[in-house]
Amino acid sequence: MAEDLSPSERRDRVALHDLHVEFRSGGQRVQAVNGVDLRVGEGEVVALIGESGSGKSVTLRACMRLHPEASTRYTGRLEVAGHDVLELTSRELSRLRGKTVAMIFQEPLLALDPVYTVGEQIVESLRRHEGLSRAQARQRALGLFQKVRIPSPERRLDAYAHEMSGGMRQRAMIALALACNPQVLLADEPTTALDATVQIQILLLLRDLQRELGLSIVFVTHDIGAAAEVADRMAVMYAGRIVEQGPAAQLLSRPRHPYTQALLLSRSHGAMVRGQRLQTIGGSPPDLARLPAGCAFADRCAHAQAACRATQPPPRSVGPAHEVRCLRLDELQHLQGSPLHHAAGAAA
Ligand SMILES: Nc1ncnc2c1ncn2[C@@H]1O[C@H](COP(=O)(O)OP(=O)(O)OP(=O)(O)O)[C@@H](O)[C@H]1O
Ligand SMILES: [Mg+2]
């Protein structure tokens, strides 16, 4: 999707370097994000995938510093649209949130205010952040509704969120998110609540808008088929780390990390079925308050050895822009069979 710019010409819109996010909660320290490195270029679409609790939402929300300040500790670097997010004042931060970076969620009713019509909310946002007059803002809102392909846009501007269908609400939320021409769109499972046909319509709409507006998008999904259809790159998270990232097609056709392989294993011989959620994997992820010293997947991995439990695997390049964190990469190339501990029946 970013084919018109060569990688060297593309600027990073999101650059996370060794990002850690730790929550202090009930006397415990929960290490939800543990050293994430992720770059998203201008006009690039990156999908974050991984099991529940792997830190996908925490990573996205960190990009806007949305976690409660009192109980959250961020370390590392977090650059979004050229801003050093961890250094911004609260005023700069609200400008970033209101204008430069937009976020959409699984549930549009959380983003859309029930007491105002959707049109009023877009108009209000445009007046506040862009200084437009009411009439100008209304005109722009109408254009946005057309852009997100809401039928009878004039009439729908005056509707309340609860009067719309799920797919329509999602489009309205996207219109609101795009109102102030953001550079970056963060989408947390934007289509999970919708049925499969509407899901794909929304994802294709996002892709079209991305092309038209040169947006950079990071989206979280449980649907690898959908990710394959929309993303340039994919990043696989496990216990707050990215264990593998690379060009979507390559990662899907030749996953290298045992965890990525396990996630993809169930999909009928690699076929990407849209609307299918991620396979659940035997065993459970580690406690984020007591992370192991070595690879966090080791306890569920049939190929784990003593070294895997002792050392944090560094990222290794396995192809252009394709990185994997697994100590046993070389040996595994020659191994056949399931990477799953339970499936392989191996002893711990
Ligand atoms: N404010 C918070 N305080 C304490 N722990 C938190 C906080 N926010 C998130 N967590 C914890 O961080 C971990 C990662 O959560 P996150 O929401 O990022 O998971 P996820 O990958 O988005 O999962 P899902 O697919 O279920 O949405 C979880 O264990 C969660 O309970
Ligand atoms: Mg989440």
Beta bridge partners of 77: 17
Asked if 141 and 226 count as a contact pair (C-beta separation under 8 A), the reply is no
Is the pLDDT reported for residue 342 higher than 50? no
DSSP secondary structure, 132-160, as one string: --HHHHHHHHHHHHHHTT-SSHHHHTTS-
Question: Which residue CA neighbors atom 2 of ligand 1 most closely?
Answer: 23
For tokens 């009713």, what's the residue? 109
Of the ranges 87-96, 130-139, 191-200, 303-312, which one carries the lowest mean pLDDT score? 191-200
Q: Is the CB of 67 under 6 A from ligand 1?
A: yes
DSSP 96-145: IIIIIEEEE-S-HHHHS-TTS-HHHHHHHHHHHHH---HHHHHHHHHHHH
Taken in order of first residue, the domains within the chain and their CATH numbers are 2-100+182-347 (3.40.50.300), 105-181 (no CATH)
Do 13 and 185 meet the contact criterion of CB atoms below 8 Å apart? no
Query: Does 30 score more than 50 pLDDT?
Result: yes
Whole-angstrom distance, CA of residue 261 vs CA of residue 270: 10
Q: How far is the CA of 240 from the centre of ligand 2 (A)?
A: 12
The pair of three-digit structure tokens given for residue 285, joined into one six-digit string: 């992820």
Q: Give pLDDT tens digits for 108-163.
A: 888 889 999 999 999 999 999 899 999 999 999 999 999 999 999 999 999 999 99
61 CB near ligand 1 (under 6 Å): no
**C-beta 117 within 6 A of ligand 1:** no
pLDDT, mean of residues 254-259: 93
* pLDDT value for 153: 96
Distance CA 261, CA 257 (A): 6
C-alpha dist (Å) from residue 56 to 4, 25, 59, 83: 29, 19, 5, 21
Ligand 1 atom closest to Cα of residue 60 = 18
CB of 234 shorter than 6 A to ligand 1: no
Q: How much distance in Å is there from the Cα of 137 to the middle of ligand 2? A: 33
Q: What is the Å distance from ligand 1's center to 67 Cα? A: 11
Residues in the chain: 348
Q: Is the pLDDT of residue 347 over 80?
A: no
State the closest ligand 1 atom to the C-alpha of 54, by its place in the atom list counted from 1: 21
DSSP characters over 195-241: -HHHHHHHHHHHHHHHHHHT-EEEEE-S-HHHHHHH-SEEEEEETTE
- Ligand 1, atom 16: closest residue by C-alpha: 55
CA–centroid distance, 155 to ligand 1, in Å, is: 39
CB 108 within 8 Å of CB 169: yes
Q: Tell me what pLDDT residue 332 has.
A: 82
Residue 336's pLDDT band (cuts 50, 70, 90): very low
Task: Please name which ligand lies nearest the alpha carbon of 49.
Answer: 1
Atom 18 in ligand 1: residue holding the nearest Cα: 55
Task: Report how far ligand 1's centroid is from the alpha carbon of 164 (Å).
Answer: 30
Provide the 10 A C-beta neighbour count for residue 177.
Answer: 26
For residues 196 and 205, what is the distance between their CA atoms, to the nearest angstrom?
A: 14
**What pLDDT does residue 334 have?**
64
297: CA distance to ligand 1 center in Å?
Answer: 18
Asked whether 103 lines ligand 1 (CB < 6 A), one says no
Name the one residue in this structure whose structure tokens are 């929550």.
Answer: 23
